[in-house]
A and B are shown apart, each in its own frame.
Chain A
Amino acid sequence: MEEAKGEEVTLFGFWSSPFVHRVIWALNIKKIKYKYVEEDLCDKSALLLEHNPVYKKVPVLVYNGIAIADSLIIVEFIEETWKENSIMPQDPYEKAVARFWATAAGDGLWQFFITEGKEREEALTSVINNFELLEKELIGKNFFGGDRIGYLDISVGWISYGVPIFEEITEFKIITEQKFPLLHAWMEAFSNSEFVKDTLPPREKLSERYRNVWEAIMQKKN
């Protein structure tokens, strides 16, 4: 990516992080040129630690020398700083609902992934409950943002690859076309969107990463 003149945007990230992906998608939709720095999470760079001393995590966006951390906060900063190609709903209520779902949509999914037995059942109930409500948000729309991808699509976009990977590893299907037709269609539309298509690592590489993490967690438990 060529560097923009007069504006310097740098994104510190890690290839498999869903939080980093959110920022990449927002930058793409807003057509912002940026420099990407891949971090080794086991050996974080001095620059990263300088820019995010509080959490020491990715993503961090550095814009004209100032640093912003936390993926959803970065996405809102991007929306507010670059006025074109808006991703937030205009209506205050719709905006608030999008912000609510940005964090709530994933509730229970990680628990479902890393637990077993009764704990997993409880997590699954919570996940299905949320997905049923999320499905309703898609009625009459291609994306949560309407005709185009918006803030909520970006925020929950990781579900489009994360859930299939969780399903593959746990051998349990959650989002089927029968049970969640709109969510199922959304996952495909989102993945194939021009702003998302070439941003993700190969599925096998992502799957392997998640499987390694899962096995490490499961081993620790037993």
Chain B
Amino acid sequence: MAEKEVKLFGNWASTFTRRVEWALKLKGIEYEFVNEDIPYNKSEELLRLNPVTKKIPVLVHNGKPLAESLVILEYIDDTWTEGYSIMPKDPYDRAQARFWAKFADDKCISAMSGVSTSLGEAQQKMLQEAREAFQTLEQALGSKQYFGGDQIGYLDLAIGLFAFWMPILEEIVNVSVVDDENAPLLKEWFARILDVDMIKTSLPHRDKMYELSKQRREQFFSGQISRLN
């Protein structure tokens, strides 16, 4: 059996994996998906392909592996140049897109992780940080339809899954982070991005995601796991 030219090692619930899948789908690239049981049960093949960080996602193209989801996004755009354009063309717009994707990963994700794994006063502090982080992120959107402008682009792909898991996490933890008061434009984008055809038909199962998030949080508080991801 011929091996598919493009293979993606990832996890169905991972934001970092999903952004790569969406890029591949936008470009119309066929790929084989290998779901990794993270974090404790990674395959030998994954560890061989990414001996440096040992993390998913890893894209293998014609036998050559690549890690780091944002690096992979740009690689996909640089390699499959026909079809949908993911990165902006202007150097300043590219710098901005890269800046905000990094901000989202560094600040927003870690803030939400903090909110879900703390209680009481500590949680209030983390909640304030999370609300500020998302409010700041909204600056990158402004009055545009999508971060990419009239069409989705790199930044929409990078953080699109936030629109899916944020409401789930807010419900489980019983907090409000992205709301009409704090980040109304971002909230509107949440609805818009989830309505994009390609994305709508490529989301995890909501109940499954809910259960997993709830379970991970319970495991954290019962001391079974030291971090959420």
Contact = CB atoms under 8 A, between A and B. Distances in A.
A97 B79 CA distance: 13
Given A66-B92, A73-B98, A92 B75 contact: yes
Interface stretch (B27-35, B62-70, B169-177, B185-193): B62-70
A70 B102 contact: yes
B91 A81 contact: yes
- Which of A74, A97, A107, A130 is the most central at the interface, judged by chain B CB atoms within 10 Å of its CB? A97
Nearest to B133: A54
A103 B68 contact: yes
Interface residues of B, number: 23
B110 interface: no
- Which of B64, B75, B94 is the most central at the interface, judged by chain A CB atoms within 10 Å of its CB? B75
Nearest to B61: A93
B91 A96 contact: no
Contacts of B1: none
B91 A80 contact: yes
Interface string A14-55: 000000000000000000000000000000000000000010
Contact of B71 (A99, A129, A130, A133): A99
A165 interface: no
B51 A133 contact: yes
B74 interface: yes
Interface of A is mostly: helix
A104 interface: yes
B75 A95 contact: yes
B41 interface: no
Contacts of A130: 52
- Which of B79, B95, B103 is the most central at the interface, judged by chain A CB atoms within 10 Å of its CB? B95
B52 A133 contact: yes
A76 interface: yes
Interface of B is mostly: helix
Given A99-B71, A104-B52, A80 B94 contact: yes
Contacts of A70: 98-99, 102
A77 interface: yes
Given A70-B102, A95-B75, A96-B74, A77 B64 contact: no
Nearest to A61: B95
B119 to A, nearest CB: 26
Nearest to A95: B78
Contacts of A100: 52, 66-68, 71
Nearest to A77: B95
A133 B49 CA distance: 12
B53 interface: yes
Interface string A68-96: 11100110110011000000000011011
A171 B98 CA distance: 38
B113 interface: no
A77 B92 contact: yes
Given A80-B94, A99-B68, A107 B53 contact: yes
B72 interface: yes
B53 A104 contact: yes
B11 interface: no
A97 B98 contact: no
A144 to B, nearest CB: 15
A99 B74 contact: yes
B91 A129 contact: no
22 contacts: A54-B103, A54-B136, A66-B92, A68-B92, A68-B95, A73-B99, A77-B94, A80-B91, A92-B75, A92-B78, A93-B64, A93-B66, A93-B75, A96-B66, A96-B71, A99-B71, A99-B74, A100-B68, A104-B68, A107-B52, A107-B53, A129-B51
Interface of B: 51-53, 61, 64, 66-68, 71-72, 74-75, 78-79, 91-92, 94-95, 98-99, 102-103, 136
Given A80-B91, A93-B75, A104-B53, 11 more contacts: A66-B92, A68-B95, A69-B99, A77-B92, A92-B78, A93-B64, A93-B66, A96-B66, A104-B52, A104-B68, A133-B51
